[in-house]
Every structure is written in C-alpha cells, then in structure tokens.
Structure 1
Amino acid sequence: MWSSPHNAMRDNPDSPADIPPRMLVVEVEHWSAIAAGLDPATPAAVVFVGRITALTPAAAAAGVRTGMRRRQAQSECPALELIERDPDLDARRFAPVVAALEDLTPRVEVLTPGCCVVATRGPSRYYGGDEALAELVRQTAAGVLADAQTGATISVGIADGLFVAGLAARLASTRAPSTQVLVVPAGASAAFLSRLSQRTLAGAFSPLGDDPDAASDFTDVLGRLGLRTLGDVAALPVTDLIGRFGTQGEWAHRLASGRDFRLSQPAAAGPELSVETEIDPPADRLDTVAFAAKSLADQLDAQLTRLGQALVCVEISAETEHGETASRRWRHGFRFSPPDVVDRVRWQLDGWRSDNRSRPSGRISLIGLAVAETAPDEGRQLGFWGGQSEADERAERAMGRVQALVGFDGVTVGRLGSGRRFADLEQRLPFGTTGQADSSTAGASNTAGPRGTGASNTAPPWPGRLGAPAPAEVLAEPEPLVVLDANGEPVGVSGRAQVSAPPAVLRRADGRASAITAWAGPWPLDERWWSSRSRRQARFQLVLDDGTAHLCAVEGGRWQREATYD
C-alpha cells in the first residue's frame, strides 16, 4: 500500500495542481539486451533477480516474455542464453543517447537507462508542436544508435502526466518502425486509458509498480472482481475503491482516470536544497566518488525528511580538477532513497568518462546534489501482515550484484518446506526464485511462498511428523552414534516399536561417552512402504548429562544424531 495524494488535490480534484503537465517519454525497448550486445537473431535474455527484464527478438518469437521467471523462460525456450543484468553497463551505453537529447532541450531527465522523460511545455512550442517534437526526439535517438546497428525499437509518447505518456510510448512500440510515435491529445487521457488492461497499473510508469509482486497481486484482485480495463476502474466510485483497497485504491482510481497527481514541474521542489563536497585529493576511482556521494545523499535525505518532502528528481553535478563540469537530471517513478542517488552518481560519472565527445581530462574534485523536484512525503504504509520495505529493496539490489559476480546458484536463500523429517523443512533456492526446489527431497513441498521470504504455502498434515518444539540445529549429515543400556548392550527397537532396554549411555564416533539423563520415544516413521525405497526409522529425544538435548534415530540397527535442541 502507498501514501495517499496530497490533501489539497483530494479536497479539490479539479484544481489546476491536479491537471498533469504534458510529458514526453522516449524509450528504447529491451535496452539491457542491446547494451549487452546480444545478437538479435539468437534467443537470449537478460535476467535481474531471477526475472527476465530484456530479451532479443528471437527469444520473443520463441515465447519468452519480460517478467517471466528464469526457469519458466528456459522451459519455453531450452536454447535460451541468459546473462545477468549489469546496470552500470546499461547506463554507460545509454549516456550518448541522453547527451544527444540534451542538445535538443536541457530539461532531459533519465528515468532508467533506456528511458528518458521531458516536460514538453517549452520544447513543444519551440519545435512546432507535440508531433514535431516527438518525431525529432525519435530520430535523434535513432541516429545515435544507428552506427551500432542494433535494430533497436525506439518509441515516443506524449500525454498528460508521466503515467499516460509512458503507456503511450509502450503502445507506440507496437507500430511500424517509421510511425513509432503516439501523441495523446490534451484532456483525452481518460478516453485513451479506458480500453487498456487493468494490469498496466503494475507497469514501470506507475507508482504502484515500485513493488512488482505486490502490484501484480493488486491487479490480479481487480481482474477477479470483474474490472478488466482501466475504464472499469475509473467508472467505480472512488469511495468504494478506498473502502476495499485503502490508499492503493485511491491511487489506482486517479491513474485510471488520467489524473496522475505526481507533480512534474521544477517549481514543485519548494525550498532550494543542495549539498556538495570537495574531494581532496581529486579522485580517479568511481568507488571513491560514490563513497563521498553516499554522505551527501544521506544529508539531503535528512533535510528533506525534516521538511516532510520526498525526493522525486535530483540534479547531479561533477567538476574535475581542470574545471570541466557535467550535470544531469535523474527522475524516479516514486521516490529516491540514498542508495538510489548513489547509483545515479556512479552511472553518470561512468558515462561521462566513456563519452568520446566530452570525456574529462582530469580527476573528479567536486560532486554536488541539488533537489530538482520533491513531493509531499506522507510515508509508505506497509500491510499489517508484512510487505516489502526499503531495506528489503536495498538487500535485493545487493544480492543481485553478488549473484552477478558469483553466478546464479552462488547466492541462495532458505525456504520452509514440508515433510516428515526436520531435514525436509529447510531447503535452499537460488536468490530471486520461487519455483520448484530439488524434487529429490522426500516428502518436501515444491510450492514456494513470496519472493524473499522463502516461505512455503503448503503444509499437509504429514503423519509421523514430530511436533513443536523444532530443533535449533539440523545436521546436514547425520552423526553416527552408539547407544547402550545400563548393562552396556546396544539398544534396539522392534518392528512393533518396542525398546529392548532404556537407553543409558551415548557414545560418539570419537570415543566420547555421555550419560543419558532423560529420554522420550520412540516415534516410528514408515516412509514409502509400498516401494523399493521404503524406510523405517524410530526417533528419540535424548537429554545428556551436560544439559544438551538431541534428536536421535535408529534405522537398520544403527543410531545417528539428526538434530540438536536449544
């Protein structure tokens, strides 16, 4: 769930502040695949946190779609080549396109590598209207990428507000290459949106899309309620949506009605805020500059928090020891966090240093951050039963980077499985996946829960499974033991679960012996009795004279320690 719109807009929905300004969105489709140099004729895709984010035309023809899980995409196209997304590479390769657009208008804002936003009020008048501006922007971007022979699809959309303009750009990408421009007339947003699917509320240009999984769940509920299009959502009384979904429903109603309340003018920034720091001695390493930028981003975030504002658009400037300067604006679909700002600083400087036209000749001596636009910060309300926080998002980005370095299977998360043994409860999956785990685990459930939690959604009533308390430690490999009675004879269990004698001594493989002060059991376990892989086991809880408690089992006359209790 998300914070509600500004109260003034809510109280007066027809106020001028509620009329979205005209925006232009230019997007290069599947930019990550183009930046990575993937061959369009080869089935290949880019993966980020276990999901497909970009793909080649050959992969699309084979049935792969963006948003698919890694394993699902590979099942659709077994020959699919996968590479991990490199945000730094995406930004560095996109920098020449941004520089070319900045020659047309200085008010270019980078939303993500591969997508830029321009407020059209001034440029549109200068170049002769929205249609002329859109075509000029498309041709300029195409001219930069023509030498690379990437076959990139470049689409441009102009409409009232970022949400509608972004959707117009997406629809324009489906047109013929020479007509990939779509201009929605002023005031016609509601009619344009009315026929679009309700799932577009979970897209990249929607503030509801900040958490893709949560937004997808929300749009799925809308679909099950019979709201198939944005027109259906807009036709409902806003009070009904608020009563059912809270502020998330209010956001959805306003977006579906074409009233994107996110302000888009620099004047919305309010108090002029900027921070800068000198780097002495000047730095030639990006990580050194990023470290300094982290402190600045934290300072700026603290200032805005005291003012009750959230950072939406930031201008990053840098200066070298030779006096060379570079500045650029970066926009966020919802709000910037300090790590987001640091990422933009690194991307901008990396692109500056790789630009043959304006490459700096000296080291970075100054870095500055200036607020270009803010929005009222009314907080982000998570659900009562959990939800994704900014800390979760930072952790996901960090794990995604580690995964790109060590490989997809190198970073795993635990997942609560199901089964009769405690060893079945803990399963390991590659980070970012919620698909099937190792099916060889006996009795384990293969249905995972929400991404990042590793929780299982199924809990069958497994007969023979021990109840609470669960042990604190489950051994990956059981430890062999010898359990003796008071006469020094091995303790056994009959087929009817009868103990030959009370266990009195536990002897480990290294010869150490401990007295058993208390015990409980046996609890028989009979698995797959109908097959050749049948297993019979009797489990005991043993308390030793040193105060430790263990879960032990006897199988085939051999004892072993499987777990330890706290």
Structure 2
Amino acid sequence: MTAAAIPPPRMLVLWCPDWPVVAAAASAGVPSHLPAAVFSANRVVACSAVARAAGVRRGMRRREAQARCPEIVVFGEDPDRDARLFEPVAAAVEELIVGVEVVRPGVVAVPIEGASGYFGGETRLVELLVDHVSGEVGVECQIGVADGLFAATLAAHRSVLVEPGTGAEFLEPLSIAELDQPDCDRSDLVDLLRRLGLRTLGAFAALPERDVVARFGNTGLLAHRLANGKDERPPHRRHPAPELSVTKTFDPPLDRIDVAAFMAKTLAGRFHSGLASRGLACTRLGIYATTERGEELSRIWRCAEPLTPEAIADRVRWQFEGWLKTGDGRRPTAGVSELRLEPEETVEGRSLQLGLWAGGAGTEHTPEADRAARALVHVQGLLGADSVFTAVLEGGRGPGERVRLVPWGDQRTLAEGHDAAWPERLPGPSLATVFEEPVPATVVDADGAEVGVTDRYRLTARPYEVTVDGEARRVRDWAGPWPVTARWWAPDGPDTCVRVQAVLEGACPQQPDLAVLLRWQRRCNPVWTVEGVYD
C-alpha cells in the first residue's frame, strides 16, 4: 500500500462551543443566560448562543453588535485565560482515554481505535465521555468521530459519528468556508475559491491535485488534502531524534506562573533552535513536568502550522497556568522541579531569515535595545509579568481609548483601524498624562453658576473658574466643546459626553499655568471631570 493510500487515523474530537465566551464569563462570574461576546481589534471573535439569537455574528464590529444587542456583555480576548480554564476539561477527557492532544483551548483530539474497543464501541465511548465531562467540569460539549482531525472537528460541530472510510462523502456537501478554522487562517484562500465558483468542499476536492498546487501553492495543497478527507500531512512523518528533546531542572521548584513564563521563553528558543539546525519544525509539542514530590504532568499540543519560538513559549505558559490554577484535587501539590519539551511530530522546517547584521537599518536588535530588554525582563522577574508594559496604538475617539498596554514580551500587534480617521476624535495635541480614573471637577461661570451643556452640545456659559481637588483656578483660555455620542442605540437614550480644552491660571504668580482636558458627561456624578493634563 502506498503512503497516499494509507487512510488517516480514526479520531475523536471533543469541542466546547463558544469556549472563549464560556471561559471569560466563568472568570468574571457572569451568568450564562446573559448575551456575551469576546472582541479583538473591535470585532467579534466569539459570541454566546444568546447573543447569536439576537443577531450577533463572528467578525461583526463592536458597534453593530451592541446595536443589535444593547445588553451584550463585552469581554476582551485572552488566550491565557482560555487555556487555563480549559485544562480541567482536557484532564477529564484524559481520565477515560489516553493520548489526549489539545488542538486549541476548547478543542481536544484523541485517537480512539483502542479506546472504542475497550468501552464497547464508539457510540458507547461518546456517551460515557459526554456524561463524564459534563459531570466533572460542568461544561457543555459536543463530540464527533471521523477519519482524520479535520473531518472529526467538523463532525464535532454537528455531533456526528462518521462511518469509517466515508470522510470524503461527509465533507463533500459542506461549505468551502469550513477550511477557515480558528487555528489556521485561510480566509484569503476561501474568498478566492468562492470567487472562482467553488462553493463546497466537494467541488474543491474534485480538482486535480497538480492543478491545485500550480494555482494555489502549498496552502492550497494542504486545504485540498483536507477537502478530500485525507490527513493534514502525509502519514510518513519524520521520527524525532531523542536528542531533540530539551530538559530543564529548577532549584527551587517553579510554583509561580510569571517565573515559568520567563523560563519558557528561554527553553522554547533552545528547543526551536535544535529543530531548526536539522531543518525541522514541530507540529505536535509534548510538555512534560515533574513536581518536587514526584507527580508526573503531561500534555500534548497539536498545531496546524509549524510552531515558532513564540508559539512554543505561549503553549508552555498556557499549560503552566492550567496546571497551577486548576481546582482542588487536580492541582499539583508541589512546585515543578523538571520540565521537558519533546517534539512528538516534526515536518520540514520553515526558517526565518534574519538580518545579516544585528542593529542594521530597519531592525530593533541594537545593543541598546538588547540591554533595555534584559533590564525589563529582570524587572519582570522581580515584580511579576504585569509590572512592565509597552503602549500600542488603538483606534478610538477618547485619549484613554487610543492606547492599549501590552505586557513586555507579548506580541505588540496593531489593532485594525488604529490609524483610521475616527469621527469625533479629539484634535491635537495629545495629552501628556491620562488619568486612570477621571478627577472630579467643578466648572462655573463668572456669576458662580455651574456651566452645563445644551441639547445642541453648546456650553450654557463661558467657563470662568475650575475647581479640582479643592483648588480653584481661573480659566485663562479654552477651546471646544467637542461632543462624542456613544451607545446611541440604548433604549434610555444615548450616552453623550463633551470635551473642553482649558488653560488654568496658577493660584499664585510662582505657580505655572495648567492645561487640562475637561469632560462633561450627562450620566456621570459629578458631571465635570478632568480626563488628563497637557505638557
């Protein structure tokens, strides 16, 4: 039998629907009956069934989602939270079946040829697994069984057990959009296939493989294999050499997630370099740990694409969060004394071509930058991972909305629309200091009456004096107002705020003037606050 004729392994996939929302709601203590969604770059990445019933969809902008469902609870994307809370689910599956692989938080896969025979068939195994996970962890899950991971994942979305050898028939009528999975972005390929008139997986699978490679390259070839019900890669993969494993011992043992995260970065770099030196890359990562009391911890992470050093470090960090923050009875009783990374599966590597000279034009690898990076990592090691941040520009209208703080070492990705011409955005110059919580203030006119805002967003009088923290200062000059209308879809009316720039005189000749940004908001008490100060 040729390699191409070898069928993909029989796989069981357990899928927890809307897991990012489930994890976020559980972490924040939000009841499951409330509509909720997780947003990234101002777009919906996951939403609950209640939110979907109200018209919210994945990829929808935040404003449109809130217009369709004003009561929706908004959460930010947090892969660490998703992975940490998913560990009890993976552990519950592992109590019945060995060889569990975490595809991504919310999805686990496991070969079931041996387990199905032990438990009396696939149907009986699925019933036992659903009852066990629901009883032990208390989360909703769906299970699918098919030949190969891709078909089994789509079967889990439909709670279907596909008969052996019929994977291609099962996939044939499904939409071509199924190729675009969260762990492997193929949106550009899917869009192109649609424009070419290929609407289903069966229509794409019917194309000759040679033509697919010539037109779409390696990405198209992999997608074509999936559409045909084959495995993600040919079954004859390289057998990882034993010396490619990387082991690290810790004295004292690791019992803090932030310290483990820093160790993971160094270990991931060594692990990736060892593979790259042999022209390999890892697609299934085994993470094995031993505690000070001899407890053995293990988990295998499967990835659609070869892992980068950053991706390896992320998975090690996620796994440590899952182990160290899980519930009583599952948490290890001592710190981790040994950590081992093993390449469970490798493919041809994809190396990154770096610059010839570090510190050259257009790079950030200058000696000064390296020294600063080491200093910041040292501060994080002393004070924790959340002690050092860098700023990333975001899209928004208010000064506090335009900056997102990213922990040092995490990926600094610019949000979509960060440089767009936002309507109602405050004109320059930018604030030097934005207060985390606006400071209450009182703004009065020359007669001592409080200055308000009309329905047409005009000030009722000229600002004469501003009192902040009990200190009254006269207004030398001012500009505005600049109105911002938010939540215009709310049943009780829009939430409008008005911003005014003002220069305040010093209380005495020796005291310099102070330039501030004042904000008036109808639903706030007090009405006027100081949002920030200028240099």
Sort the TM-score into its range (normalised by shorter chain): 0.5 to 0.7
Q: Find the structure with the greater CA-based Rg.
A: 1
SS in structure 2 of the partner of residue 104 of structure 1: coil
**In structure 2, what is the equivalent of residue 240 of structure 1?**
211
State whether residues 30 and 53 of structure 1, in contact with CA within 8 Å, keep that contact through their aligned partners in structure 2.
no
Q: How much does 1:414 deviate?
A: 8.4
Determine if the alignment matches structure 1 residue 188 to structure 2 residue 169. no
Superposition RMSD on alpha carbons, in Å?
3.2
- The one-character-per-residue Cα deviations of 1:483-523 (angstroms, maximum 9, x if unpaired) are xxxxxxxxxxxxxxxxxxxxxxxxxxxxxxxxxxxxxxxxx
Q: In structure 2, how many angstroms separate the alpha carbons of the residues matched to 1:120 and 1:227?
A: 33
**In structure 1, what is the equivalent of residue 14 of structure 2?**
26
* Larger displacement relative to structure 2 (352-361 or 186-195): 352-361
Map 1:461-480 → 2, pairs under 5 A: 476=429
Q: In structure 2, how many angstroms separate the alpha carbons of the residues matched to 1:240 and 1:35?
A: 43
**In structure 2, what is the equivalent of residue 300 of structure 1?**
271
State whether residues 269 and 371 of structure 1, in contact with CA within 8 Å, keep that contact through their aligned partners in structure 2.
no
Determine if the alignment matches structure 1 residue 77 to structure 2 residue 61. no
Q: In structure 2, how many angstroms separate the alpha carbons of the residues matched to 1:129 and 1:379?
A: 44
**In structure 1, what is the equivalent of residue 337 of structure 2?**
365
Distance 1:20 1:72, change over 3 A: farther
**Which ranges of structure 2 fall in alignment gaps of 5 or more residues?**
354-385, 397-401, 405-413, 431-535
Match of 1:35 among 6, 9, 23: 23
**Which ranges of structure 1 fall in alignment gaps of 5 or more residues?**
1-8, 147-151, 173-181, 382-404, 416-427, 443-473, 478-566
SS in structure 2 of the partner of residue 307 of structure 1: coil
State whether residues 263 and 375 of structure 1, in contact with CA within 8 Å, keep that contact through their aligned partners in structure 2.
no
Q: In structure 2, how many angstroms separate the alpha carbons of the residues matched to 1:233 and 1:158?
A: 23
Sequence identity percentage:
41
State whether residues 98 and 116 of structure 1, in contact with CA within 8 Å, keep that contact through their aligned partners in structure 2.
yes
Q: In structure 2, how many angstroms separate the alpha carbons of the residues matched to 1:414 and 1:351?
A: 33
Aligned pair count reads 376
**In structure 2, what is the equivalent of residue 164 of structure 1?**
151
Task: Return the letter of the residue paired with 1:128.
Answer: G
SS in structure 1 of the partner of residue 128 of structure 2: helix
Distance 1:78 1:262, change over 3 A: same
Q: How much does 1:429 deviate?
A: 9.2
Determine if the alignment matches structure 1 residue 197 to structure 2 residue 187. no
Distance 1:158 1:268, change over 3 A: farther
Map 1:289-328 → 2, pairs under 5 A: 289-328=260-299
Q: In structure 1, how many angstroms separate the alpha carbons of the residues matched to 2:124 and 2:57?
A: 33
Match of 2:55 among 28, 42, 63: 63
Match of 1:132 among 124, 127, 146: 124
**In structure 2, what is the equivalent of residue 387 of structure 1?**
none
Task: Return the letter of the residue paired with 1:358.
Answer: R
Distance 1:195 1:81, change over 3 A: same
Map 1:108-127 → 2, pairs under 5 A: 108-127=100-119
Q: In structure 1, how many angstroms separate the alpha carbons of the residues matched to 2:38 and 2:425?
A: 30
Q: In structure 1, how many angstroms separate the alpha carbons of the residues matched to 2:425 and 2:74?
A: 27
State whether residues 306 and 349 of structure 2, in contact with CA within 8 Å, keep that contact through their aligned partners in structure 1.
no
SS in structure 1 of the partner of residue 157 of structure 2: helix
**In structure 2, what is the equivalent of residue 465 of structure 1?**
none
SS in structure 1 of the partner of residue 95 of structure 2: helix
Q: In structure 2, how many angstroms separate the alpha carbons of the residues matched to 1:282 and 1:356?
A: 20
**In structure 2, what is the equivalent of residue 412 of structure 1?**
393
Distance 1:322 1:239, change over 3 A: closer
SS in structure 1 of the partner of residue 313 of structure 2: helix
Match of 2:255 among 280, 284, 293: 284
- The one-character-per-residue Cα deviations of 1:85-119 (angstroms, maximum 9, x if unpaired) are 33222222222221121111221111122211101
Moved over 6 A (4+): none
Q: How much does 1:201 deviate?
A: 1.0
Distance 1:230 1:304, change over 3 A: same
State whether residues 100 and 141 of structure 1, in contact with CA within 8 Å, keep that contact through their aligned partners in structure 2.
yes
Determine if the alignment matches structure 1 residue 217 to structure 2 residue 188. yes
Task: Return the letter of the residue paired with 2:240.
Answer: G
State whether residues 119 and 264 of structure 1, in contact with CA within 8 Å, keep that contact through their aligned partners in structure 2.
no
Q: In structure 2, how many angstroms separate the alpha carbons of the residues matched to 1:303 and 1:257?
A: 34
Q: In structure 1, how many angstroms separate the alpha carbons of the residues matched to 2:8 and 2:119?
A: 21
Determine if the alignment matches structure 1 residue 374 to structure 2 residue 346. yes
Q: In structure 1, how many angstroms separate the alpha carbons of the residues matched to 2:269 and 2:403?
A: 34
SS in structure 2 of the partner of residue 65 of structure 1: coil
**In structure 1, what is the equivalent of residue 415 of structure 2?**
432
State whether residues 395 and 415 of structure 2, in contact with CA within 8 Å, keep that contact through their aligned partners in structure 1.
no
Q: In structure 2, how many angstroms separate the alpha carbons of the residues matched to 1:92 and 1:261?
A: 27
**In structure 2, what is the equivalent of residue 270 of structure 1?**
240
State whether residues 179 and 223 of structure 2, in contact with CA within 8 Å, keep that contact through their aligned partners in structure 1.
yes
Q: How much does 1:285 deviate?
A: 1.8
Q: In structure 2, how many angstroms separate the alpha carbons of the residues matched to 1:231 and 1:251?
A: 15
State whether residues 283 and 303 of structure 2, in contact with CA within 8 Å, keep that contact through their aligned partners in structure 1.
yes
Distance 1:184 1:136, change over 3 A: same
Q: How much does 1:335 deviate?
A: 2.2
Q: How much does 1:54 deviate?
A: 2.5
State whether residues 43 and 60 of structure 2, in contact with CA within 8 Å, keep that contact through their aligned partners in structure 1.
yes
